[in-house]
Amino acid sequence: MKQTIKLFSVALIAGAISIGGYKTLESKTNPAPKEIVSTVKPIDFTPTNYTSNTPSKAVDFSTAAEKTVDAVVHVISTSVNTLPTNIMDYFRGNGRSRIQQGSGSGVIISPDGYIITNDHVIDNASQLEVTLNNNVKYTASVIGTDPKTDIALLKVETDTSLPYIPFSDSNNVKLGEWVLAVGNPFRLTSTVTAGIVSAKSRDLDQTNGTLQSFIQTDAAVNKGNSGGALVNTRGELIGINTAITSQTGSYVGYSFAVPSNIARKVVEDIMEFGEVQQAILGISASSLNSEMAKKLDIKQTQGVYVADLEKGGAAEKGGLKKGDVIINLDGVKIAKFADLTGCLGSKRPKDTVAISIIRDGEQQNVDVILKKLEVYQIKDIGIEVAEALPDVLKKYDLGGGVLIKRILRPDISRYSLQGAIITKLDDISVDSIADVREIMKTRSANQPIKMTFVSKNGETYSYIFR
């Protein structure tokens, strides 16, 4: 027992000595830290608004929707088509009649019943019915159409003042701006969808050769929205919804609208002149890019390059020259040809426009008085012709002729006539639009017409159209 107590006591003493020695060693190797005064400021976790010192506001679409939904109408067009039952019916224009109906939208632009819609909504219609948001129906008449811009003007007779949407300046529309599309997709009346402006001055590949300048949005637009309103958050009209690009025919993320400035100009021309007065500069031009700039040995990679000018045309008289680069028109930046097309689409003949150009590396300003585009529609063939520029005639070594500017019928588009030069009609030489008018006046209706032309490849052909 005594032996055990001794051993236990020795163990306790040894343990105490070991612990004491460890603490002494630790104090020598790791002295007590001195008090450090930190100069680093504490992190502030308070949320910070990096874009603005003002509190953000949620966009409210309800006011714009309430202002516009009653001014967008449902348009139902009825047409009668004749279907040939045999080869003789085809040549004689006989056959079985079939009634077809189409549906679209329209925008009331005045309290007395003027309505904008798309030309393709009412094309070939024998009867038009317009239904308001309150289910009141009217029979509409066509005041005028412009297939180039796909705009049509309708009128309903009413004793009451109708709700309408005021025009806004589409040049002031900004990328990323919130917009609403109001229309009647799939016959679902009074439908409102929201999106932003995805692009401006968007040009689509048109089978009829018409150059356009659309506002592109990501607001959902489907069949039946055509002719409806594209409005800003103030409820003002900035465009007429016209097209979508889709392999299925339904909305896939992008939609396109005719800018309100162009639509308004078309409507005012129809009301004042009965037709659209198209203003032109009288130039052959193209958009610039890095490859073209390198080829032309110029620094500009944006703008419209003037390749040639019409002799005696507006541009030549205003002081423009071959090789100029147009960068601005009436305060609107011109980065590509569609920008120029959009600006000119809102102008009229005899308007004076201020044009900024780059010439020999320096910016200059010129004022140009626009001229009217002279065109003529040969409806028996389904084409529209214009005066040919001298450089085009020179290219094909021709002394005269008229340019096939646009195809009017889908069945004619398969002949690839766009851009060809007509030299003869019924074997009579053609040098100008005046010659075409005289020839068409002297021939009887439904008479076959022979057209001789030079294709874009420089080959000469003759077609007979019946």
> Residues with catalytic annotation?
120, 150, 226
Is there a contact between 157 and 223 (Cβ–Cβ < 8 Å)?
no
Helices (H), 49-149: 62-68, 87-92, 119-122
Is there a contact between 105 and 192 (Cβ–Cβ < 8 Å)?
no
Q: Containing H/E element for 17?
A: helix 2-29
Helices (H), 47-99: 62-68, 87-92
CA–CA distance, 316 with 337 (Å, rounded to integer): 19
CA–CA distance, 118 with 142 (Å, rounded to integer): 12
Longest dimension (CA), the chain: 148
Q: How far is CA 94 from the centre of its chain?
A: 40
Q: List the structure tokens of 64.
A: 């714009």
Partners of residue 462 on adjacent β-strands: 452
Q: List the structure tokens of 31.
A: 């002295």
CB neighbours of residue 58 within 10 Å: 5
Give me Rg for the CA atoms of the chain. Answer: 36
Is there a contact between 313 and 322 (Cβ–Cβ < 8 Å)?
no
Kindly provide the residue ranges of all beta strands, DSSP E only, lying in 281-324, ordered along the sequence: 283-287, 304-309
Q: List the structure tokens of 376.
A: 């003529």
Partners of residue 179 on adjacent β-strands: 195, 232
CA–CA distance, 67 with 140 (Å, rounded to integer): 23
